[in-house]
Structures are given as structure tokens and as C-alpha cells.
Structure 1
Amino acid sequence: MEASFTYLLPFAVLSVILSLLFLNRKRNSSGLNLPPGSSGWPMVGENMEFVLQGPQKFVYERMNKYSPEVFQTSLLGEKLAVFCGAPGNKFLFMNDSKLLTSWWPQSMKKALLFPEYADNSVKEVGALQRSFLHEILKPEALKQYIPLMDAMAREHVETEWAPCEEVKVFPLSKKYTFALACKLFMSVEDPDHVKRLADPFTLVTSGMFSVPIDLPGTAYNRAIKGGKMVREELLKIIRARRNELMESKETSDRDLLSRMLLITDEQGQFMNEMEISNNIIGLLVASYETTSTAVTFVLKYLAELPHIYSEVYKEQMEIAKSKGPGELLTWEDIQKMKYSWNVACEALRLSPPAQGAFREAITDFTYAGFTIPKGWKTFWTVHTSHKNPKYFPEPEKFDPSRFEGSGPLPFTFVPFGGGPRMCPGKEYARLEVLVFMHNVVRNFKMEKAIPNEKIVYHASPVPMNGLPVRLLPHAK
């Protein structure tokens, strides 16, 4: 509860004032058969309930109370229709660009993007629709990065884990994933330089989904300040790289930043510096917050479940023994990690890093007998299918065998979304998680230092104490 205080404080201060100001707000009187639900407090909506209950309890309580198919609520200052279960996921995924368009909360855009772009739609933020991002994140393009991922993971484990008897997994996984992203995307590897980006970026990710009230001392205020610092630092990096390219000091295949500086659109125009910064920030959010959370919870379950750890260890050691001294992992090695990836998928099912995604209705449409008006925001959430016993028997049981063969039914396992807007970084996340698992498991067995550590929810699930584990090195 203490961890949520900074998110709840603005509610406590403003809820009474806002209630008095907006008691007579205009309600929809069109006679449309809207989804059942509650808008909560005026302006504040049901944000407080969402924070206090956590997303899973919040969603299931409303599914039971209002409708198991779709219900309405109000979060982040917006009227939302929450679509439930595999049918809801399928409907939203398959109607993207037909009935719906991409949408980000204003709080998120204001924290992440330059002010010139904050009021634009997501589609109008040019850098975010470049198809080359999907190209460079395909498996074929990522293969070349596996040895570098492995080398950085080895160094990280040797310096940050091996000298210790106990470590906190969550902050260390964040440190590794951010350093890797800086190296792969921008060739930034100096620890001090990485820290200049990481510290304010942490403020952004910690506050961009908090109560969108920009007052001193709030998480949202810190997110906005942190975003400004990150953008300023990125502009320095982008301008320095542009100068290097103009002086022909490097080639275009150095990293993602160089490719973005050289690529042109259909009219032959280069991306401007702010577009490139927006693009890199979007990639950092995806590769940092969610991937570090995924790594953390995979290791959490390995520390909790010795029989699962034993099978992962066996698989990873077979791969390690096939390598020569100092030989780094390859794409072929990753393809052998089938059981390890099933374990990772089960961790993603039980503790998904991303809670879902928003869309905006571009026309009135009907779903399950209810009308969703144009302009309403929609939300699909992992929690309406990942723990549904209809799709996953004994849903609280950790069972990697669910992902053997053809795996779960379509639209039931959606940690990366689905349809045409499935997360383009899915393969990047898979490689990063498996490489990190390999390096930790072949060096240590883990025991949780706090067996019943509480999990709190911000944008992603977070172990309240950072997931401290005792490290038990393998006998040589």
C-alpha cells in the first residue's frame, strides 16, 4: 500500500473538490444501449479502485457485476469500454484500422513525447508508423545481436551477481535491459552515459500511468520532468551521430539510430530529430519496462519451483556443454531452449508485464448487443483470458506444458497483443529473456529471501521489495 501512496495522494486531495465541481456534468442521453458499468467519481473515474484492487481483481469484479463480455469504466480521464475474454480480444485485434485506431492516454504522450507531438494522434506521430521498425525487429535481423546479448549478460552476471550472496532481481534486471537497449539501439555503452538516461527514464515509466495531475510531488509531475531530461539527452546523441554520418565516419549498419538517420519516407524525406527521439523512446519503453518485468517474474518462478528450475537447468547446461571455452550463444542455441521458453510463457501468462492496450472507436459500432460510440476508448486486458479456467484449467497452477504442441487456443494468450498491431518487439523480448535465463541458471540456483513478497501494480507488476533472492552457486 505504501508503494501506491504517491499515486493515490492526488485523488484524496482533489476528489471532493472535483465532485462538487462536476456533480452536474452532462451524461449521455442519446438512448444508446451502452455497455453496463460505472464511471466512478467525476473526473477521477475509477482510477482509485484500479490502483487499490490491482488490474486482475478490478476487471473480474466488474465482469461478474456488469457483463462478462464488455463493460464500461472511466480511467485516466477517459470513458472506456473494456472488452473481455478471447472473443473480445479477437474482435479488437481483427477490427484494428476498420472500427478502431491506435490511441495513447494524454498522460502517456505528455510524459514521453515532445510538446509539439503531445496533442497529435498516435498515427500523426510520424516516427511511430515507420514500417522499417518491424523489419529490424524480425528474427532474421535480430540473429546478429544474440552474441552481443550473451556477452553483456555474462558480464552483468559476473559483476553484479557473482560477488554477492543475495541480490535484488528486479532492479538488476532493469539495469541490464536498459544497458542492452542503449547499446543495441544507439551504441551507448559508457556506464555514466547510460545512467544519465536511465535515472530520468525510470521517473517516466514510474509515473506515466499515474494520476494525470501535474502538481509538484506527484509521480506524474516527476514523469514529465524525467521525460524532458531524456529527450534532451537523446537529442545530443542524435545530433552527434548525424554529424558523424555526414563526415562519413561510420556506416549505416552500426545500430538502429544510424539506420533511422539515413532512412527516408515515400517522399524522400528524412525523419527529423524529434521523430527519431520519439521513436527511440517508444522502443526503450517496450524493451525496458516490460522486458525487465518479464525477466524478473521468470526468475521468481524458478526460485519458487525447484522442479521447474531443475528441467530448465538441464536444458541450459546441455547447451552450455556444447559450447567451446568463451563461445557465445547463437540463434541455433536459442532454438534449442524449447522448455525454457514454455516456462517463460507460463510466467507471462500468470504475471503479464503489460496489462493490455488502448484503442479509440472511429465510428459507432455494436458488440455483444451494446453500442460503443465514436470517440470512446476501448481496452483489451490480459486478465480476462490468462486466468480464465475456460481457457486454462487450474489457472493458478504453474504448468509449462500448456505451451507444448499447438499451445493455447487463439486469442487466449496475449502478452504481446495480437492482430496487425501485435507487439513488433516480441522476438526481441524472447531472445533477451532466454539469454538472461541461460546466464543466471547455469551459474546459480536461487531461493527467495521473502517467500510471500507482495506484488504491487503500477504500469506493470512490481515485487514490493525488488525480489531479493539468495544465490547458491553450482559446485564446480
Structure 2
Amino acid sequence: MDLFSFLLHPILLSVSLCIIFLVRRYKSATAKLPPGNQGWPIIGETLAFALGSKSGSPTRFIKERMMKYSPDVFRTSLVGEKVAVFCGPAGNKFLFSNHNKLVATWKPRSMEKILLFESPPKVEPRGLRSYVLEFLRPDVLQRYIHIMDSMAREHIEMDWAPNREVEVYPLSKKYTFALACRLFMSIKDPEQVAKVAHPFHLITSGLVSVPIDFPGTPFNRAKKGGKMLRDELVAIIKQRRNELSDEGEPEVQDLLSSLLLQSDENGKGLNDMEISDKIVGLFLASFDSTSATLTFVLNYLAEFPDVYDKVLKEQMEIAKSKDPGEFLKWNDIQKMKYTWSVANETMRLAPPAQGTFREVIIDFTYEGFTIPKGWKTYWSVHTTNRNPKYFPEPEKFDPSRFEGKGPAPYTFVPFGGGPRLCPGKEYSRLQILVFIHNMVTRFKWEKVDPNEKVIYNPSPTPVNGLPIRLHPREK
């Protein structure tokens, strides 16, 4: 009897495990998965997805599969993962509304290796997101408009005004990165900005590359850049932490000081890597996307003189209302309605962000299809941005689309939506509007190469940097 009792438990456990395995296998076999194609073993359809971006046609991959499989959701395999691609405004709304309910934050493993994340941050540590949201609130950002305006003037005076021709894209990146260093970490010294910028450029050039880790590959260089960037940021964080311990409350309240002064309910503060993670994330979110938008706003203003004239009229009325040398204020920004419509139409046609991955944390059904736990989801701006159902004459540049009520909900989502609306939206809006104000009141310009090719890596990138010829405006 004792021997029977001894054997009974492992027997029951084995039977239970078999039943669970068979049930799961049955559910998997009978589940109605979204239609689609997993592509080649291991690489899936990653190459087709990437080549579409490199060719300047990132919409093709999405559109072909929506037409072939389903306009609502289809399956594919990207970056070594099974992926359900959600389409249209309904798909956007579903994913945005179910964050941390059905899906959670996820980054490809190759990206984690480059950025030195230990594991996918399903939930940000100890309310870290709320600290950043606090810093990026519109009423807080109002304090920094004069800094944005001052830096835009200095940047244009030093890097644009002395030249007859300039390349817009690299100069836009230089400006947005320097501004981020100033506002996030109070770094003003150009040499120190360059020390942070160099590894960051290595990261962005290889962030979405094939993860082949051999010397000389973009992925290998990006990994080295990630290590260099982390070392530099941790040194900056330690120095600021020492300054705060010596001096107490800082005179300048930048994001770094705010994060260092925060603590949870137990009085425990954030560690250096948590702070570094957030700063890296903000740089990634604000750098390529904003500089790409600035670049293509200038591109479209050169292509459409009538649009340029309307922007100029709006900005000159603001400029004439200011005293000599007076910086822009919050109420001036609120008057730039047409200019912001131009920026939105730019982001519709040249979206700075192509989409975002999520991880499925529990089985769910969508449009009659089962999306299993462990799969990844992806939403893409290319399911709506150029869809004539939501934007008539979708290839036409028409800022009036964004006047009045604007596009239908969830058809235009450059900053995400729902509870996961990008916290940096207002920060990006201020950067863009302040810079455009200073550009149009100083110059008119024309494109040197009207037929310059554009690729996506992942933000839209003019292959020659968008060279333009400047024509200074008479003062």
C-alpha cells in the first residue's frame, strides 16, 4: 500500500501533464489562425519586409498581403517571430486599447542586445513612465519654449545662414539631438554632445539591420555603439548624482535631475540603468522621428509654393507681433494651426514611425481568428495613411485634411493612440513648429535634386540628405 501511494502521485502528475499537452495540441490544431504565409524557415518574410523599406515602398508589403489574405488581420513571420499584423483603424484601436490586457511591450531580441536591455520590459519599473509623463506635460514644456527658440536661432545662424546650399537631413538631426541633450540632461558643450551623438549614430544605423554579429557589420557596430552610449550616460548620471548629493535641489530641473530625485513608496530611488533605459528610449523616440519630419516638411514646402506662402503668412503675423529679440511663447505656438496641419500631412505621406510590435500575453480572438499567446502583433501606419477610403486622393499633399475635425479616429496615428499615446507628442510638436517658424521667416528654398530617392531605415531618409538652395529673406 505504501509503495502504491508512493507511485500514485508521479503517475497522476504524468497523466495530468499528458492531458494538458493533448488539450493544448488540440486547441492549437483546431484554432483558426489568421490567413497568411510564414515565409522561409528562420528568416520568414523579414527580407521582403526590409527590402520594401529599402526600395522606398514600405507600403507594398502590407498592401499586397491585405489584398491577398485579409483587410483586417494577417499572419507573417518577422525577425524570427510569428506575427499577426493588425490592419485599419479597427486594428489600431484594438491594439492601443488592450495594452497590458491582451498585449504588452516587446522589442526584437536584436534590439535588446544593441541597447543592452536585459529582458523585454513588460511593465516599466516603479512608475518610470509616470516620471517622464510629468516632465513632458504641456504645462511643463511651456517653460522650455524659449530654449527651443534660442537654440533654433543659433543653429540656423551657425549651420544654415553662412551657406548657399545645405543638406537638410543631417542638419535636422544635429539640431534635434543637441536640443534633446540640452533639455533632457542640460548638456550644452558641443564636445560633450558629440561624445553622446557618435555612439547614438552607430546605434540608429544598425538598429533594424540583420543581426549578424561579425566585425564591420551594421549590427556589430550598433552593439559597440550601445555599449559606448551606456558607458557615457552612466558616467553623466553618476556625476549628476554626486552633484545632487552635494548641492541638494538643483537650480535647473531637467529630466535627468527629475528622475534622480524620484523614489517609490519605500523610499527607494531609480538605479542608473533604469534611468539610462528611459533616456535612451526618449532619444530614440525623439531623434530620428522628429528630424525626419522636419526634413520632409522642408521638402514639401519647397515642392508646393502655395503651401509655403500660407505657412509664411501665418508665421510672419506671429513674428510681427513680437518685440525685437523676443522669444516665442505658448500662445504663439497655439496660433500655428496651418503649420501644424502641414506637419501632419507630412507625417501622413512620409511617416516617421512605420509601426510597433507587441507581444500577446493571453490567447484572444479578433475578427474570428485566434491570436495565440506568445505571438507578436504589429500595427502599421501603411494600412490607413494612403488608403483612399480614409484619405481621398491619398497621394495628394493636402494639409486641409487636418482642418476642422480632421481624419476619422484611429486612421492617422503617428503618435499611437488610446492609453499608449506617445508621451512625447507635445514635445515633438513644439520642436517642429518652433524650427519651422525660424526657417520660413529667414529663408525661402528650393530642392537641388527634385527627383531624390527616399528609403526607409526605418524613418524616411533622402538618400543624399535633401540638399536645398537657400534664398535669404530680406529683413
User: Residue deviations 1:79-138, cap 9 Å, x none?
Assistant: 11000011111111111122111111111222113xxx42x2223552784312112111
Tell me what 1:317 maps to: 316
User: What displacement does 1:225 show?
Assistant: 0.6
Tell me what 1:160 maps to: 159
Which runs of no fewer than 5 residues in structure 1 stay unpaired?
Answer: 1-25
User: What displacement does 1:251 show?
Assistant: 1.6
The whole-number CA distance in structure 1 between the counterparts of 2:248 and 2:87 is: 53
What residue identity is the alignment partner of 1:169? Answer: V
Normalising by structure 1, report the TM-score.
Answer: 0.91
2:78 maps to 1:81 = no
Tell me what 1:46 maps to: 45
Other structure's SS at 1:131 match: helix
Q: Is the 8 A contact 1:206 1:219 kept in 2?
A: yes
Normalising by structure 2, report the TM-score.
Answer: 0.91
Tell me what 1:336 maps to: 335
Other structure's SS at 2:365 match: strand
2:426 maps to 1:427 = yes
User: Residue deviations 1:145-167, cap 9 Å, x none?
Assistant: 00000000000000000001111
Tell me what 2:5 maps to: none
2:370 maps to 1:371 = yes
Tell me what 2:383 maps to: 384
Q: Is the 8 A contact 1:128 1:279 kept in 2?
A: no
- More deviation, 122-131/36-45: 122-131
The structure-2 alpha-carbon separation of the partners of 1:95 and 1:249, relative to structure 1 and needing over 3 Å to count, comes to: closer
Other structure's SS at 2:325 match: coil
The whole-number CA distance in structure 2 between the counterparts of 1:465 and 1:139 is: 35
The whole-number CA distance in structure 1 between the counterparts of 2:212 and 2:41 is: 14
Q: Is the 8 A contact 1:252 1:259 kept in 2?
A: no
In the alignment of these two chains, the number of paired residues is 446
Tell me what 1:8 maps to: none
- More deviation, 249-258/279-288: 249-258
User: Residue deviations 1:284-335, cap 9 Å, x none?
Assistant: 1111111111111111111111110010011111111111111011101100
Tell me what 2:3 maps to: none
Tell me what 1:17 maps to: none
The whole-number CA distance in structure 1 between the counterparts of 2:430 and 2:133 is: 16
2:132 maps to 1:130 = no
The whole-number CA distance in structure 1 between the counterparts of 2:458 and 2:51 is: 13
Other structure's SS at 1:210 match: coil
The whole-number CA distance in structure 2 between the counterparts of 1:303 and 1:72 is: 40
Tell me what 1:219 maps to: 218
The whole-number CA distance in structure 1 between the counterparts of 2:113 and 2:322 is: 48
Q: Is the 8 A contact 1:342 1:403 kept in 2?
A: yes
User: What displacement does 1:250 show?
Assistant: 5.3
The structure-2 alpha-carbon separation of the partners of 1:428 and 1:401, relative to structure 1 and needing over 3 Å to count, comes to: same
2:200 maps to 1:198 = no
The structure-2 alpha-carbon separation of the partners of 1:40 and 1:81, relative to structure 1 and needing over 3 Å to count, comes to: same
User: What displacement does 1:346 show?
Assistant: 0.4
The whole-number CA distance in structure 1 between the counterparts of 2:196 and 2:246 is: 26
> What root-mean-square deviation, in Å, do the aligned CA atoms of Structure 1 and Structure 2 show?
1.5
User: What displacement does 1:205 show?
Assistant: 1.2
The whole-number CA distance in structure 1 between the counterparts of 2:125 and 2:269 is: 11
Q: Is the 8 A contact 1:291 1:353 kept in 2?
A: yes
The whole-number CA distance in structure 1 between the counterparts of 2:265 and 2:439 is: 45
The structure-2 alpha-carbon separation of the partners of 1:292 and 1:47, relative to structure 1 and needing over 3 Å to count, comes to: same
The whole-number CA distance in structure 2 between the counterparts of 1:271 and 1:459 is: 31
The whole-number CA distance in structure 2 between the counterparts of 1:249 and 1:180 is: 25
The whole-number CA distance in structure 1 between the counterparts of 2:266 and 2:289 is: 35
Identity over aligned pairs, percent: 62
What residue identity is the alignment partner of 2:303? Answer: E
Tell me what 2:7 maps to: none
Q: Is the 8 A contact 1:253 1:259 kept in 2?
A: no
- More deviation, 371-380/217-226: 217-226
User: Residue deviations 1:335-388, cap 9 Å, x none?
Assistant: 010000000000011111001111111111111111110110000111101111
2:109 maps to 1:106 = yes
Other structure's SS at 1:97 match: coil
The whole-number CA distance in structure 2 between the counterparts of 1:414 and 1:233 is: 34
- Which of the two has higher C-alpha Rg? 2
What residue identity is the alignment partner of 2:46? Answer: N
Q: Is the 8 A contact 1:39 1:45 kept in 2?
A: yes
- More deviation, 290-299/242-251: 242-251
Tell me what 1:470 maps to: 469
User: Residue deviations 1:33-72, cap 9 Å, x none?
Assistant: 1111112221112121112222211111111111111111
The whole-number CA distance in structure 2 between the counterparts of 1:310 and 1:38 is: 48
1:171-320 correspondence runs (5 A) = 171-248=170-247, 251=250, 253-320=252-319
Tell me what 1:448 maps to: 447
Tell me what 1:62 maps to: 65
The structure-2 alpha-carbon separation of the partners of 1:128 and 1:166, relative to structure 1 and needing over 3 Å to count, comes to: farther
The structure-2 alpha-carbon separation of the partners of 1:129 and 1:259, relative to structure 1 and needing over 3 Å to count, comes to: closer
